[in-house]
Amino acid sequence: KKAAAEKKLSGTENTTRARTRLKKEAKSDYPAPPMQLSGNALAFYDRICRHLAENGVIQDVDALFVAQTAQNLHITAEAWAVIEKEGAVQETHSGYTQQTGHYTVWKNGLAIYKDQAAQLGLTVKARTLMLEVFGEEDNADHDPIADLMNMDVA
């Protein structure tokens, strides 16, 4: 059996236990999820919020976006579990092959998460960009928003 701490890190913590733990923990570091999260989405929400709270960047207004990201991760993981069992291609009655619906859900979920992760600073590239723009500055007149406006994002 996995230790409780290892389950939290891997995102495989029992959903009921995760809900109980979240209710017991102080919510001062990050907001409670504003919507019902299914399956492992609550564990994903907890991990993302803890990461953002450790970096001091989460606000109450972010809770819905983080919850949507966590739910998307859960749906994507569920689709992948089905793909592992059944495969990503199916044959139609007429003999043609096509991608399964689960593959489409998984592929779309990854594309959505890629965008969401960048917005939340959960990718290496996004964190590097944020450090470059919002890193410590000795100049009190420095305007990080002006730096963002003048950046070549391509």
In this prediction, what percent of the chain has a pLDDT beyond 70? 68
Instruction: Write the DSSP string, the chain.
Output: ---HHHHHHHT-S-HHHHHHHHHHS-SSSSPPPSS---TTHHHHHHHHHHHHHHTT---GGGHHHHHHHHHHHHHHHHHHHHHHHH-SEEE-TTS-EEE-HHHHHHHHHHHHHHHHHHHHT-SHHHHHHHHHHHS--S-TT--HHHHHHT----
Tell me the three state secondary structure of residue 140.
Answer: coil
**Rounded distance between C-alpha atoms, residue 133 and residue 52, angstroms:** 17
**Rounded distance between C-alpha atoms, residue 136 and residue 22, angstroms:** 33
Enumerate the β-bridge partners of residue 89. Answer: 99
Q: What is the pLDDT of residues 79-118, one digit of tens each?
A: 999 999 999 999 999 999 999 999 999 999 999 999 999 8
Of 131 and 13, the structure prediction assigns the larger pLDDT to: 131
Tell me the three state secondary structure of residue 91.
Answer: strand
Residue 26 has pLDDT above 50, yes or no: no
Model-level pTM? 0.66
Q: What is the pLDDT of residues 39-59, one digit of tens each?
A: 889 999 998 998 888 877 888
Torsion sign, CA atoms 40, 4, 123, 54: positive
